Amino acid sequence: DTGVSQDPRHKITKRGQNVTFRCDPISEHNRLYWYRQTLGQGPEFLTYFQNEAQLEKSRLLSDRFSAERPKGSFSTLEIQRTEQGDSAMYLCASSGAGVTEAFFGQGTRLTVV
């Protein structure tokens, strides 16, 4: 078990472009979370999956954001028509059934220029 894996670690994109991030959770963890962290702040909840079902989305998740978790394994987070305000660290976390502690990946640092 290598922990939660996120790819890429860094992404620089031009404003208006689409980007997609991938998260591979700890195997057999059925809960998967996406968080966003801006400079000097704590992570903020974006969305949550239990298996393949997306059960909750934060108000932070505008209609330009979409997340999927096909087959309840890895997850992708896509941002369409990126804006400079989307620049942040995007963190993925997973947890197992009946366990509340979440294990975080290293994050994807997005810079929109």
Mark residue 8 as left, alpha or beta (left: phi above 0; alpha: psi -120 to 50; beta: remaining): beta
Distance separating alpha carbons of residues 39 and 1, to the nearest angstrom: 30
How many C-alpha atoms does 21 have within 13 Å on its Cβ side? 29
DSSP lists the bridge partners of residue 76 as 22, 68
Positions 7 through 26 that interact with other proteins (CB under 8 A): none
DSSP lists the bridge partners of residue 84 as none
Least CB distance from residue 82 to other proteins, whole Å? 21
Least CB distance from residue 81 to other proteins, whole Å? 26
Among 44, 66, 72, 76, binds other proteins (CB under 8 A): 44
The region of 11-19, 67-75, 76-84, 97-105 touching other proteins under the rule CB under 8 A is 97-105
94: its two tokens: 């997973």
Least CB distance from residue 34 to other proteins, whole Å? 10
In the complex, the residues that contact other proteins under the rule CB under 8 A are 4, 6, 31, 33, 40-45, 48, 50, 55-56, 91, 93, 95, 100-107, 109
